[in-house]
Structure 1
Amino acid sequence: MSKSIANPDLPPPPSGKYPARAHARRVAKWIAEHGGPKSGVIYLEGQSTKMTEDDDQATHFRQRRHFYYLSGCDLPDCFFAYDVAADKSTLWIPPVDPEYVMWAGMPLLKHEAMERYDVDEVLTSDELKSGQSLSRILGKEETTIMTIEDRADLSVFDTDKVGKQQKPEIDFSRTRNAIEACRVVKDDHEIAMIRHANIVSSYAHEQVLASVKRAKNERELNAVFVMHCHANGCREQAYGCICAGGTNASTLHYVDNDMPLTGRLNLLLDAGCEWQCYCSDITRTFPLDGKFTKESKDIYELVLRMQSTCMKMIRAGVKWEDVHMKAHTVAAEGLRKLGILHFHLSTQDILDSHITTRFFPHGLGHYLGMDTHDVGGNANYEDPNPFFAYLRIRGALPAGAVVTNEPGIYFRQFPLEQELKDGKWGGVVDQEMLKRYWDVGGVRIEDDILVKEDGCENLTTVRSDIEFVEATVCGFD
C-alpha cells in the first residue's frame, strides 16, 4: 500500500469560530476614537462570483479581506452589516436555488451559517435586496452607513426599498482606514492561523529540500511544494511561488519557474500557503548538489548574519527603519570583508555611496496577515532616500504584529554591470572579485516573526542553518 502524502504528525489547525464579532467591535471603536460616529451601520459586500470570459466557469474565488475580517465568511455573493449601537451583526448569504443545487449540490443553509460564523443573525440575500431586513436595521431615525467606496452597491438603500424617511447618510471616509489599522495587530486566533500556515509551508519546504536531487527543472520543485501544502489541508497559495535556479534568483519576483536546473549552483524557493485566508511567506536558498560552493557559502552566511542580527532587534516599539538599516550595515561590512567592495572604504563610506541598495534592493520585510504584503505599513514609495524607497513598513512596530524578516544579497548583472561600465561605482566595487559571484544569483532567507513586548517569536519552523540545509538535500547520508 502506498504511503499517504499527508503528514499525520503535523499539529492540527486552530479550532473555534473566527472572532468576527470582536473585530467588528474593534473597528467601530477605532472609528469613534478618530472622530467618526459612535452609532450607525458598517456595511460591506463580499466578493461576487465572476464568470470567465467566453466560458461557463467561474473564475478563481478570493474573498475580500476586509469583508472576511468583519464576518469570517469565505463564501461568494454575501453581504454584512454591523449595527454599532445595537452591537449586532447580520450576514446575508445566497438563497437556495434549485437549478444551482442540480449542478453543484446544496449551498450553506442559514442554520449552518449560524453555527459556522461568529454573527448574530443570518438572512438570505433576497431579503437584503428587497429591503425587508434593511428597514429593520436602519430603524426610524437617520442612520449613517459606513462602507468602502466602489465596494458596495448602494442601490439597496434606495428609498423605494427602505422607505423615504430611512434614507441613510453614506460615509466613505473611515471604514477602510479603520479596518486596515485594526488588522495590523493580530489577536490570538489570527496568530494561530498564521502559525498553522507556517507549519504546513515549513513542512512543504522540507519536502522540496529532500526532493532536489531528483529534480531536473524548476517546475518540478514548485509542484512538490504545492502538492504537500494541498495534501495537508492548505489548498490556497498565499502568492505565486518563486522557484528560481541559479542566476534566475537575482530576479526578485521571478515568475517563470520552468527552467532546467542543470549547471546551476543554487535554488531560491520563496513560497507559502494560506490557512483560511491567513498567509505564510517563507524563503529558503539551497545548493542543488547538496554542497554550497565557497562563493555561495560566503553569501549565504552573510545573509544569515543579516537576518539573525536584525532578529535580535525586533520587539514592540522598535523603528522598522532602524532594523532595515542594520541589515544594510551588516551587508556593507560583509561585502567589504569578502573584497567585493574595496577594503579601504569605511562602513559609513559604503552606506553613503548607496551601493548596498544594488545588492539588497528591497525592504527588510513587510506586515503579514490576510495578505502577504499586509495592510497598515504606511509605505512611502515616493521617498527620495534609496534605502527606504521600497520599504513596506514605516515607523514603530506594535506588539501583536507579524512581520517578515527577509534580507537578501543579489547579483543582478543588468543594470549593475552597465552602471559599472559607466563608471558609477568606481572606487567602490572590485569588479574582478565581483565576477566570482555572478553565478550565485541571489540568496534570500525569510521567516515570519511575531512581534512581542519583550522580543519576538519565529513562527517559521523549517531550519535555515547550513548544516541542516546541506544534509537535507543530501538525504542525511
Structure 2
Amino acid sequence: MADYDVILKGKYPGKTHARKVAEYMKSKSKAVGGIIYLEGQKTKMIEDNDGEAPFRQRRYFYYLTGCPLPDCYFTYDIAADKSTLYIPPIDADSVIWSGLPTSPKEALSLYDIDDVVTTPEIVPALARPLETPTFYAIPNQVSDHVSLVGFEHKDFAVLKEAIEECRVTKDEYEVALIKKANAISTIAHTEVLRRVKGAKNERELEAVFLERCIANGCREQAYHSIVASGTAAATLHYVDNAKPMDGKLNLLLDAGGEYGCYAADITRTFPISGTFSKESRSIYDIVLRMQHVCTNMLKAGALWDHIHLTAHEIAIEGLLRLGILQGDKEEILRNRTSVAFFPHGLGHYLGMDTHDTGGHPNYADKDSMFRYLRVRGNVPAGSVITVEPGIYFCRFIIDPYLADPVQSKFINAAVLEEYWEVGGVRIEDNILVTESGYENLTTAVKDVEGMAGIINGS
C-alpha cells in the first residue's frame, strides 16, 4: 500500500482547515469573532430538461467540511471552536429514484465535523444570539431564505481571502490526495503511450485516458483533456480532441484526473511513431532542460518570477543553438522575443482547482514576459506548483514578430520554416515545495528512451 493510501484512510481535515482560516482572519483583525457560514453547491437542473446538471462542490465549502454532498450548509462558531454541517433530510419522493440519502449519523462518521443536523435547522440556528454577533460569508453565496437579522456585523470580504490564502499551503492529507490523483493519472498517461501508434484520431486517446482514470478511481477530471496532435499542439488550451492523426509528428497530452476534489495536472509530449524527428527531439531537449533547471531552483521562499525568467533564458540559449533565434542573448531577452515561442507562464498553484488560489497574478502587467504568469512572488513550503515550460510554433503568435522590424532581426525565418510541423512541446510535473527543496509528485515517464520503449512495446 502506498504511503498516501495509508494517510487517506483518515478523514479529510475540515476542522483543522476551519481553525487555520479563523487564525488567518484573526491575523487581519483582533476583533474577529462570530460565525463562519458557507453554503455547498445547490442541485441544478439542465435548462429545459428534467435531468440534473453535473455537480461540482463549491471549493470554499469543501475546504472546511470535506463534504461532497449537494444542498448543504456549514457554520463554524469561532469562539466555541464548533463546526456544524447541515445536510438535506429524507425526501420520500427522491428516495424512489435515488435511494436513501446520507444520514446525520453517517455524515458525522465520514466528515471531520463536530455536529451534523438537517438543513431545516439552519435558519433557527442562525437566529440564536452570540457573544460576538458577526457573520462571515462568501459574496453572493447566501441564499435568500437565510435570515441575518440577529447579526450586528456582516463581513463578505475577509472569509474569501482567508480561504484562498490558506489553500496555498497543503497539509499531509491534501498532499496525499494530489499524489493519488497523480498516480492514477500516470496509469492513464502510460496507457495512451501504449496505444498512440495504433490510434487514428485524437478522440480515441482521450477515451483511453478517461477509461483508465475512471477504472482506477478518478471518476472526475481536473479539467478538459488536451489531446493535440501535430500543429494543434501550438494551441495552448486546445480542446477539439477530434482530429485525425495520420502523418503527424507528435502528440501533446495535457490531462489529469481529480481524486477527492484534488487535481493532477500532467503534460507529456511524445512522437506518435515512437521516434522523434530531428527537429522535434531538439525542441524536446530544450524544454526538458528548462523544466529540469527550474524545478531544481525550487525551495521555500524561491522567487517564482526569477524562476520563470530563467526558463526564458534557457529557451533563448537553446533556440540560438538551433539557429531559430539569432543575435545577442541579452538583447533578445530585453526585447522579449522569446515570448513568441513561450507565451505562457511557467506554472501555477495546484490543489482543489487546477489553477489554484493564492497566486496573485497580474494580467495587467505591461511586461509581456510576466503578463500570464499565474503565480507572482515567493513560493512557501507546503505549496504545490506545476512546472510546465513549453516551446510552440504558432503562426498566429509568431507572424506579428516576423512582421515587426525590431523583433524580426532576432528570428531566422528560413530556419524557423523547418520547425512548424513540430507544433508545440510542453512538459509538466506537479511539485511540492519543501523547506530545503522539493518533491516531484508526478511519476509519468518523460525521458525520451522511456517513452519510446512504451510506445514501441520494447
TM-score strictly above 0.5:
yes
1:357 and 1:38 map into 2 onto residues whose CA distance is 45
Q: Offset at 1:9?
A: 9.7
2:87 and 2:373 map into 1 onto residues whose CA distance is 39
- Count of aligned residue pairs for this structure pair: 457
2:173 and 2:64 map into 1 onto residues whose CA distance is 14
Q: For residue 370 of structure 2, what is the aligned residue in structure 1?
A: 388
For residue 41 of structure 2, the aligned residue among 47, 72, 75 is 47
Q: Is the CA contact (8 Å cut-off) linking 1:38 and 1:85 kept in structure 2?
A: no
SS at match of 1:409: strand
SS at match of 2:432: strand
1:445 lines up with 2:439 in the alignment: no
1:147 lines up with 2:137 in the alignment: yes
Q: Offset at 1:417?
A: 2.3
1:420 and 1:22 map into 2 onto residues whose CA distance is 54
Supply the AA of the counterpart residue of 1:178. A
Supply the AA of the counterpart residue of 1:367. Y
For residue 81 of structure 1, the aligned residue among 75, 94, 110 is 75
Q: For residue 268 of structure 2, what is the aligned residue in structure 1?
A: 284
Q: Offset at 1:157?
A: 2.2
2:61 and 2:234 map into 1 onto residues whose CA distance is 37
1:188-235 per-position Cα deviation (integer Å, ceiling 9, x unaligned): 000000010000001110010001112100000011001000000110
Q: Is the CA contact (8 Å cut-off) linking 1:18 and 1:72 kept in structure 2?
A: yes
Q: Is the CA contact (8 Å cut-off) linking 1:10 and 1:199 kept in structure 2?
A: no
1:419-449 per-position Cα deviation (integer Å, ceiling 9, x unaligned): 4145453321000000000000000000000
Supply the AA of the counterpart residue of 1:60. P
Following TM superposition, where does structure 1 have runs of at least 4 consecutive aligned residues deviating by more than 3 angstroms?
Answer: 8-13, 421-424
Q: Is the CA contact (8 Å cut-off) linking 1:148 and 1:176 kept in structure 2?
A: yes
Supply the AA of the counterpart residue of 1:145. F
Equivalence map 1:370-381=2 (5 Å):
370-381=352-363
Q: For residue 126 of structure 2, what is the aligned residue in structure 1?
A: 134
Q: Superposition RMSD on alpha carbons, in Å?
A: 1.5
Segments of 5+ residues of structure 2 without an aligned counterpart are none
1:396 and 1:423 map into 2 onto residues whose CA distance is 37
Q: Offset at 1:402?
A: 0.1
Segments of 5+ residues of structure 1 without an aligned counterpart are 1-7, 160-165
Q: For residue 295 of structure 1, what is the aligned residue in structure 2?
A: 279
1:20 and 1:431 map into 2 onto residues whose CA distance is 56
Q: For residue 146 of structure 2, what is the aligned residue in structure 1?
A: 156
Q: For residue 4 of structure 1, what is the aligned residue in structure 2?
A: none
1:114 lines up with 2:108 in the alignment: yes
1:461 lines up with 2:457 in the alignment: no
Supply the AA of the counterpart residue of 1:411. F
1:227-264 per-position Cα deviation (integer Å, ceiling 9, x unaligned): 00000011000001000000000000001000000010
2:317 and 2:232 map into 1 onto residues whose CA distance is 26
Q: For residue 155 of structure 2, what is the aligned residue in structure 1?
A: 171
Q: Offset at 1:54?
A: 1.0
Equivalence map 1:319-358=2 (5 Å):
319-342=303-326, 345-358=327-340
2:97 and 2:68 map into 1 onto residues whose CA distance is 21
1:158-179 per-position Cα deviation (integer Å, ceiling 9, x unaligned): 54xxxxxx34421112000000
2:420 and 2:393 map into 1 onto residues whose CA distance is 6
Q: Is the CA contact (8 Å cut-off) linking 2:4 and 2:177 kept in structure 1?
A: no
1:25 lines up with 2:24 in the alignment: no
1:367-420 per-position Cα deviation (integer Å, ceiling 9, x unaligned): 000000000000000011111000000000000000000000000012312441
Q: For residue 291 of structure 2, what is the aligned residue in structure 1?
A: 307
Change (3 A) 1:442 1:352: same
Equivalence map 1:201-350=2 (5 Å):
201-342=185-326, 345-350=327-332
Q: Offset at 1:24?
A: 0.3
Change (3 A) 1:235 1:377: same
For residue 29 of structure 2, the aligned residue among 30, 35, 44 is 35
Identity %: 52
Q: Is the CA contact (8 Å cut-off) linking 2:135 and 2:151 kept in structure 1?
A: no
SS at match of 1:56: coil
Q: For residue 15 of structure 1, what is the aligned residue in structure 2?
A: 9
Q: Offset at 1:10?
A: 11
Supply the AA of the counterpart residue of 1:58. E
1:111 and 1:411 map into 2 onto residues whose CA distance is 57
Q: Is the CA contact (8 Å cut-off) linking 1:49 and 1:77 kept in structure 2?
A: yes
1:171 and 1:183 map into 2 onto residues whose CA distance is 20
**TM-score (normalizing by structure 1):** 0.93
